[in-house]
Amino acid sequence: MPSRDSDISARPSGAMALPRVPTARWYPGVAAAQLIRPQPIGDALYWLELEGSLTRALQLRCRERFHVEVLREGYARPTLEEARTLHIPSRQLAWIREVQLCGDGQPWVMARTVIPLATLRGRGRRLRHLGGRPLGAFLFSQRRWQRGPFQIGLTRQPAPGQPAVGRRSRFHRGSDALLVGEYFLPRLLQGNNSHCSR
């Protein structure tokens, strides 16, 4: 069992509550999710279908600065559904990282990454030490990592200002795999028509 200081659930007493990545119901594609809840899918369609690096697309959208805010990371149990998607035992710990991707000082995307223990071996150890570096930039700079098809998520009872929709995909490199979920905040979707410089 990992030590307490590497447990995602460990929090300093009196610390301010940080945003949490919402739970979602996942569908095999945009069309299936749109049948259930058309409005948020339409608003986020550009981002849901974006190929390549989301990090890079957000950086290009910024007028001033892009940065990653780490909400929490450490060893924890994935959800049962995440474990099934990654083909790992349901009670096995994984390295779970939750962050906000921020542009011009505003959170635009919440992201949750689940990395099985087997993926953290060898060169995969670097995935535990990303800090404020975006995971996407790392994955897309490594040619051996391949991304699988997107699933589209509708979050359960989204609160005002929280994501209503997201996407996720499974990255794999040989037998190694990890799961990346990206949830689009209203601040990003409301600015879909604005133009950002490099």
Sorted by where each starts, the structural domains of the chain and their CATH numbers stand as 21-190 (3.40.1410.10)
Residue 143 pLDDT more than 50?
A: yes
Q: Is 128 annotated as a binding residue?
A: no
Q: What is the pLDDT of residues 12-43, one digit of tens each?
A: 444 567 888 999 999 999 999 999 999 999 99
Q: Is 64 annotated as a binding residue?
A: no
Distances (CA, A) of 144 to 55, 115, 140: 19, 16, 9
Q: Which residues contact 35 (CB under 8 A, 6 or more apart)?
A: none
CA dist., res. 187 & res. 109, Å (int): 9
Tell me the average pLDDT across 77-98: 96
pTM of this structure: 0.88
Q: Is 97 annotated as a binding residue?
A: yes
Tell me the average pLDDT across 124-139: 91
Where are the extended beta strands (E) located within 104-160?
106-116, 146-147, 151-155
Distances (CA, A) of 120 to 84, 88, 111: 18, 14, 19
How high does pLDDT run on average in the chain?
88
* Matching residue, tokens 């009872």: 157
Residue 1 pLDDT more than 60?
A: no
